[in-house]
Amino acid sequence: MPASRPTPTPNPDSTSSAAVMHAALESAPWGIIRLAPDGTVTFLNPQAAAWWGLPVASILHKAPTDVQPALLSAELVAALATHGTDLRPDASFWLPHTQVWIRMRVAPAPDGQVWVYWDNVTVAKQAQPQSSPLLATVEVVAHVGSYEVNLSTMSIHFSDGLFHLFGEVPQSFVPTLELIDARSHPEDAAAVKEILAAAIQNKSAYHYQRRIYRTDGQLRTLEAHGNVFMNPQGEPVKLLGLVQDITERMQAQAEVLRVKEELARQATDRYHALFKVMDEGYFLAEVLFNDQEQPIDIVYLDSNPAATRILGQEFAGRRLRDINPGYEDYWYTIFGEVARTGEGQRLEQYASPTRQWYNFYVFKAGNAQRHQVAVIFQDITERKRREANKTFLAELQDAIAQLTLVSEILQTAGAKIGIYLDLATTNFLEVNPTQGHDLTVNYSWSKPGVPRTVGPLRSQDFLSPALTQATREGRNIIIENTQADSRVHGSSFASLGMHSFAGLPVHRQGEWKYFFCVSDTVPRAWQPAEIELLSEINSRLFSRIERVRAKAALRQSELKYRTLFNAMDEGFAVFRVVHNASRQDPDYRLLELNPAFEHLTGLNRDAIGKRLRDLATGPDDWWGSVSKQVIGAAETSRSEYYVASQGRWYEITNIPYGGEQFAALYDDITARKRAEEAMAANKTWLEQQVAERTKALQASTELLQSVYDTSLISMSVMQAVRDSTGAIEDFRLVSVNKELERETGRTDLVGKLYKQEYPGIVASGLFALLCTTVETGEAQQMEYFYPYEGFDKWFSCMFVKLDDGVVATNLDITERKLAEDEVRKQLVFLQQSEQVAQLGSWEYNLHTGAFTWSAGMYGLFGIPLHSTITPDMYTQAAIAQDYPVAEQLIQQLREGRGPIDTTLRIQVNKQVRTLQVRGEVTCNEQGQPMKMLGVDLDISDVVRLEAENLRIRLQQQHALFNAVLEAQETERKRIAESLHNGLGQVLYATKLQLDQLEKITPMEAWTRANNLLSSAIRQTRTLSHELVPTVLGEFGLEAALHDICRALSTRQLFFHCYTNLEEKLPQSLQVAVYRMAQELAQNVVKHAQAKEATLSLETVPGFVLLRMEDDGVGFTTSPAEATGLGLRTIRDRVKLLGGTVDLGSTPEFGTYVRIRFPHPLLFT
């Protein structure tokens, strides 16, 4: 249009409804596109352009196939080109540029055009079953499964993992309650039903164990953790449970317990001294029963010193009812069940007479005819207190986390602290040392009947100068009796009813800022756990209060600025000067822009941070060249510019903004300029133009009406109805579109009162939101569940003010909400799996290198939640021996090589944990590796149980070895004494008798008989000394081995002996080594036909080595087949020691025997 010809001003009355509908389309959170019959895009709103990934100007008046760059998938472009004629109802498309899944729908428009609607279904897509490979991996690794029970139909759904736990192929049968009970142990089915019934009634979490039979006859123990889920009305609708197979864990625990109890029975006398000095309390007691077999009393037969110390008195020889009749009935019940059934019980219980908690193990003692039990127990009161304090601290933090007012925080915290610690008062004070009354009570809580602390106070009225100085230095004030402690003014405390007092100061920047005080109406011995809890609350609470105050001030300031910034009609932008190397021809970087500036320029917030020359590149980017001419001036200036390409006038104001920053204000003054031109224009021409413009607007109105009626979004226009005071009492429906009529099933809504027709809008908050929109003029939106008038659906609404009413849009988002609920359910299962199975899950992005952990992983590695983590955490935490394993694991992660299945030991808080690490590679729809998903399972308990079992068996084996050796040595000593005192004496007496026959017996016969007797006496003495080696007992093992070699060396055979013992071996082991060396040396003498032999003994780290080598003829058969009595004896002894025997033989090099067994330190 020529600049000299004015543009008509449209009549507001004829265009207001069209403008409102156009504004609704522009602000809608759904993508809306209009396609001409030839496929050209004739309209799209900002949301559609944002998801497309291009500015509106780059898409308008082009066919989707011609839009560059081509950011949409070929399938989506084809669907647009065909106007969605072959579109499936559930068709969805991936927008890679914006990482969004959309569902596309179409509706007819006037003149052969088509409306296209895009809905964001990203959450629903992510919630589909294929998105849960991590959950499936967790079920496999942790031996877990899950189930869901619909309480209205009692239908049951098993996960694949739960079918595996039952020993069945997934989905091979339909699970029912009857089938599960039939497969369960008879003792468990009823108990589980009671637990589930109680959980449903109380709407609480539950836990139980159930033993089930597999089809192959195996009895497996399953442990379940679950919760009851309610509908919006608070009614239980389903059960969700997580199940883990704990059979191996229970078997390992039972095996360890069985072995320990067996050792205890075999060695009662041996371990009696241990019970006298151990830290745990020990009782031996007998349970007395009445005629109905009910336990009526407990007689304590014996106790150790620790039991007397823990309980503060001697129980032995007394009855429990005589000691204190106030002990709870469950003590008699527990002891009676163990005495009657013989099944031990491990429990933690509270005893009210001593006001203490105990961790105890009760087990059967004595024979079956007597009702005796033994008890091992510990005082765990302090741990219980700290656990309770920790739980309370978490509950308190949760209670105040969502509170935004300081008064609400102090009111909630004061009441909870006072009730939990049974206090008389809790007080929160602010300190101003510059005033006379330096203490101001912000809030005071008191129990019923106790006056609250009010008004300003003076610290010197209550505390001595020394205590006042202590608080200024940050020290806590603990007073157990205010009337007896000279450091405080007792009368001042008594006037407030405070007879015990604890005050905890809070300092900021070295100054006393706050004072947290608690008191009681009686003297009180404050416990360390109580002071620790109060100190932790003091630290957290006032920090929370300061953050709340700071956020409130910041919100107020930000609200004022943002309201002005977003509401102003003028475009507003902030730039910073960007110089080149020569500081000539500077450029400007865009730092901030408001919605009006976006509307004027066609930019969006993605332009922030970019330079003008990169943003203003086309002929239509008038603002870029104009901005370079205006901004940068040292003083505020205003300039007017006419943009010929747009035919519009703009006034641009340059405002220096500190340093090299400038603010620019862009005001569209076209209307003013054209009004000025119109004043001089011809009136007849103006009327003609007005008529033409009115006709065009009428056509636009009809077009927008078609959008209004064909939209898949429920839309309506409502007018406020006010009472005599001007307050809004309802809204009258002025207009509704077809979709709203379809959604409500009514065509008579126009003219009706909204609240009167749908009273549920008050309870759901919609009515209040409508009033806020009209009164403030700000657009409002929210998501809400509407269970009234038979809808029971989720909706997303948006309200925009129109005169004294609103334009309302509503979209049914029930499908998305259900998808989000499915995602939350999977997250609950995953978190429960981590808690129950002691595991954590992780995800590694192969393209970005991002490594993310679940909360369980942070717990496994003992580091704070949300700490920065990388794959290098494995090498940082690994113990030295497993460092290569950690490096290989990290390399597999970064290269995306799967699957991963390895075991790694890490150091956490000076403890070693054993992790089983498993991971799988996941691919995108094109089969390309995208990321690795995995879990880390803590198997430390299993490893520990296996090691404990092995250690106990080694101790048993060692004890058996000592017993065998002791029996052999006793028998040898008996035989030696018999040879020396019996047969030896007989032979000597015979020789004396033979000496008397020397003169009457032929000399040759006498000499031969005398030599035989002398030889028999020598061999008897030698055998006696060999059976009981005195040199071993008097001089030790090394001397005894040298004695063997010296005694057996002859001219034909010489023995070498070498010993190297770092530490002295136990006496029993010395005897065993001596006997094996003795046997080996005798074998060389008897069979080897050797000239030299070597006997050596040495200790190396962890082992003892005994070797015998000779240069003889070797074995006639394979060494492994040697079956001589001596070698069999040696093999049996070495086996008892947990060692090995290695034999070798050749005719050229002789024979060697190498014996290795664990160092005796391993048995301790």
Q: Identify the pLDDT of residue 612.
A: 78
Amino acid 87 reads L
Domain boundary residue, one of 554, 586, 618: 554
Residues 530 and 454 in one domain: yes
- State the average pLDDT for the chain: 82
Please tell me the predicted confidence (pLDDT) of residue 986.
Answer: 58
Domain residue limits at 519: 388-554
Say if residue 1109 is in the same domain as residue 1019: no
Please state whether beta strands 114-120 and 31-35 pair in parallel, antiparallel, or not at all (unpaired): antiparallel
Whether 1148 and 1042 share a structural domain: yes
Q: Which residues of 508-538 are buried (b: 16+ CB within 10 A; e: fewer)?
A: eeeebbbbbbbbbbeebebeebbeebbeebb
Distance from C-alpha of 213 to C-alpha of 604, rounded to nearest angstrom:
65
Rounded distance, CA 441 to CA 451, Å?
Answer: 14
The rounded distance, in Å, linking the Cα atoms of 1113 and 1151 is: 8
Q: Among 727, 735, 740, 731, which residue's Cα sits nearest to residue 759?
A: 731
For residues 546 and 420, membership in a common domain is answered with yes
Residue 337 sits in the same domain as residue 456: no
What pLDDT does residue 14 have? 41
User: Band of the pLDDT at 36, cuts 50, 70, 90?
Assistant: very high
Which phi and psi angles does 960 have, rounded to 5°? -65, -40
Q: Cα torsion for 340, 343, 344, 345, to the nearest 10°? A: -90
Q: Same structural domain for residues 622 and 672?
A: yes
967 or 351, greater pLDDT: 351
Mean pLDDT of 359-366: 87
Domain match, 17 and 115 both: yes
Single-letter code of the amino acid located at 71: L
pLDDT of residue 1025: 57
In the DSSP assignment, the letter for residue 185 is -
pLDDT at 3 over 70: no
Where residue 454 sits, what CATH number does that domain have?
3.30.450.40
Does residue 689 fall inside a structural domain? no
Task: From 1065, 1046, 1067, select the one nearest 1057 (Cα to Cα).
Answer: 1046
Name which of 215, 216, 36 is nearest 108 in CA terms.
Answer: 36
pLDDT over 80 (residue 729): yes
* pLDDT class of 1101 with cuts at 50, 70, 90: confident
Is 255 inside a domain boundary?
Answer: no
Same domain, 1024 and 1042: no
Considering 336, 358, 379, which residue would you say is the last residue of a domain?
A: 379
**Strand 805-812 to strand 839-845: parallel, antiparallel, or no bridges (unpaired)?**
unpaired
| pLDDT over 60 (residue 93) | yes
Backbone angles phi, psi at 943, to 5 degrees: -65, -40
CA angle 446, 447, 452 (to 5 degrees): 25
In a shared domain, residues 76 and 209? no
Domain membership of residue 562 (yes or no) is no
Q: Which of 1028, 1049, 1076 is the last residue of a domain?
A: 1028
**Is pLDDT above 70 for 21?**
no
The pair of three-digit structure tokens given for residue 558, joined into one six-digit string: 């930000």
Residue 425 lies in a domain: yes
Would you say 920 and 899 are in contact if contact means Cβ atoms under 8 Å apart? Answer: yes
**Binning pLDDT at 50, 70 and 90, where does residue 713 land?**
confident
Does pTM top 0.85 for this prediction? no
CATH of the domain at 1123: 3.30.565.10
pLDDT in tens, 250-298: 887 788 778 777 766 665 655 566 667 778 888 889 999 998 889 989 9
Q: Is 2 part of any domain?
A: no
**DSSP structure class, residue 1087:** I
Asked whether 1056 and 1091 are in contact (CB, 8 A), the reply is no
- Reported as a pLDDT band with limits 50, 70 and 90, residue 546 is confident
Task: Quote the pLDDT of residue 973.
Answer: 62
Q: Are residues 273 and 179 in the same domain?
A: no
The CATH number for 932's domain is 3.30.450.20
| C-alpha distances in Å from residue 594, one per residue of 418, 564, 621 | 51, 10, 17
* Contact status, residue 459 vs residue 475, Cβ threshold 8 Å: no
Q: Tell me, yes or no, whether 688 lies in a domain.
A: no
In a domain, 5, yes or no: no
Contact by Cβ (8 Å): 778, 797: no
pLDDT above 70 covers a percentage of the chain that reads 84
Domain match, 215 and 341 both = no
| Mean pLDDT of all residues in 939-952 | 76
Whether 6 is in a domain gets the answer no
Higher per-residue pLDDT: 855 or 1096: 1096
**120 and 141: one domain?**
no
Strand-pairing partners, residue 1142, are 1154
What is the domain count for the chain?
9
Average pLDDT estimate for 611-624: 70
The single-letter code of the amino acid at 401 is: A
Q: Which of 748-757, 848-857, 995-1004, 1074-1083 has the lowest mean pLDDT?
A: 995-1004
Q: Quick: pLDDT tens for 746-772.
A: 989 999 999 999 999 999 899 999 999
Q: Contact, 843 vs 933, CB < 8 A?
A: yes
